[in-house]
Amino acid sequence: MRVLLVEDEPDLGAAIKRTLNQSGYIVDWVLDGVDAWNYLENQWAQYTLGIFDWLLPGLSGIELLRRLRSQNRTLPVLMLTAKDTQADKVTGLDAGADDYLVKPFGMAELLARLRALQRRSPQLQPQQLQLGNLSLDYSSNTVCTNTAGEKQVVHLTAKEFQLLEYFMRHPHQIITRDQILDQLWELGTEPMSNVVAAQIRLLRRKLATYGFEDLIETVYGLGYRFNPAK
Ligand code: CA
């Protein structure tokens, strides 16, 4: 789950990003509306949710939303704002916001609103993703395996979960290291060049302890391929 967060208050932005990261979201955080529009217009990453502050340098959150909707893009967006008069809410919702959170707010409420947005948005991930005998559970960051009627639950770190999810969404395809970096690491971060290989090694090792040895194949010189068990 990848979020574009646009918030110009450094403390609040950092707190939101930290909270979302802890809950397994990948977060690209930008501090002004013009940067945010660059991210959206150039589609550098595929976002599943947007969190836009209303008052921003450059381009307001409302203007961002209007531009997005004028291109018929349905990215679910939660607006953050100190404005809480009825007229402001109407303006926000009319501009295409899917929900609205008035500052100050608690992080637990923010997470609950995001979960509600995900439930309401048909294009977002379901609560579970099933492939072969593997079933990913988004609410608990686990993968459940079912072999010959025997069920096992494997607990994954946030990164292992994101990686396995990405593989499960692209079975039997060769996926390059750069594709994985682009999809699963936040823009502006400069991960070590071996970080993908290291994460894949961890994921393989964890899956292997549960008897899943050959799910992720290395395709030498090209990348990786996920081969779900029949
Ligand atoms: Ca602001």
Please give the distance, rounded to the nearest whole angstrom, from the Cα atom of residue 29 to the centre of ligand 1. Answer: 13
Going from the Cα of 13 to the center of ligand 1, the distance in angstroms, rounded, reads 10
**DSSP letter at 136?**
E
Q: Any idea which residue has 């990913």 for tokens?
A: 136
Q: How far apart are CA 201 and CA 198, in angstroms?
A: 5
Nearest to 62 by CA among 84, 34, 39, 91: 91
> Which residues on neighbouring strands pair with residue 3, listed in sequence order?
27, 49
Residue 138 DSSP code: T
Q: How far is the CA of 53 from the centre of ligand 1 (A)?
A: 6
| Alpha carbon distances (Å) from 111 to 66, 78, 221 | 24, 11, 40
C-alpha of residue 116 to centroid of ligand 1, in Å = 24
pLDDT at 84: 73
- CA–centroid distance, residue 8 to ligand 1 (Å): 5
Instruction: Give pLDDT, residue 147.
Output: 74
Residue 168: per-residue pLDDT: 92
Print pLDDT tens along the chain (230 aa): 899 999 999 999 999 999 999 888 999 999 999 999 999 988 777 898 999 999 999 999 999 999 999 998 989 999 998 877 777 888 888 888 999 999 999 999 999 999 888 888 766 656 678 888 888 888 788 888 877 778 888 999 989 999 999 999 899 999 999 999 988 998 878 788 789 999 999 999 999 888 888 899 999 999 999 998 75
pLDDT at position 49 is 92
Q: Which residue has the tokens 């802890």?
A: 22
How far away, in angstroms, is 7 Cα from ligand 1 center? 6
Measured in angstroms, how far is the CA atom of residue 56 from the centroid of ligand 1?
5
| pLDDT score, position 167 | 94
Helix axes 33-42 and 61-70, enclosed angle (nearest 10)? 20
